[in-house]
Structure 1
């Protein structure tokens, strides 16, 4: 879905990144990942639902074999805010003991949920756990999270598109844009 399909709703204030900008940045990240993991097998762990687009396009941009698995986790909070209280809705199907794990995220906001996830995965005995995210909000971070691969640092605004949603809408936008405040307040 293109931005033109929602512009008449006045839901998006601005486009932060176009489809081409996202694709180019994921290719750059893939080149770095390939270099960093030379001679090692990577298990990409996507966090559902938001990371679906990022995971698919990042995996396709990596020019060698990768394995993929998925987790679904829920962070309780009010509306658009995360509390950091997490539960697993869908766990990995893969045993990660001794494996090089690369968590693939769509966005890092407060860092609370992701820090919990990293600790959970590290407790399973992998060789390594690193993080790749398309977006990071430095001004929203409440907990330091060591992120090895960052696509874009963005302002502390509510964003949608390319997997990011509000009430399950806007995920299939090809761009990433800021959602107008009247939509979520």
Structure 2
């Protein structure tokens, strides 16, 4: 019982911390946000595009601009994938069905995404988009489903191990 309480409180702390991280990114004015995504695009290009560093500076900047949209949307997806995982951990100890826990975590993540997009309406140069809510929710759903699938695999493995020990 004590272990479950620790998991619950640790999950609550991490969830709240992650929500603060997401909202702090959303609170950046558009110039800061664009600058950050361009830096990420630059690093991604350097890591995954052969010969990127040898391109002239202008071609590098043009390439980074081309992938900027994908970088930004991937960041949305991944931020909320992590959020979904924290919601999953928070709800894991609840004495409810797995289906209930998954749907609750998905809806809670979607609510966070919607509030975050509304929050962006009040930030200089930023906009709130329903498409981003959809991307965020999809990312959260992937994280939640992955978490519960991994938990299910671990549980099945433990059951098999116990059955083997009982048979021998």
TM-score where L is the length of structure 2: 0.27
Which structure has more helix as a fraction of its residues? 2
TM-score where L is the length of structure 1: 0.25
> Which of these two proteins has the greater Rg computed from alpha carbons?
2
Ranked by relative contact order (alpha carbons within 8 Å, sequence separation 6 or more), the top structure is: 2
Which structure has more strand as a fraction of its residues? 1
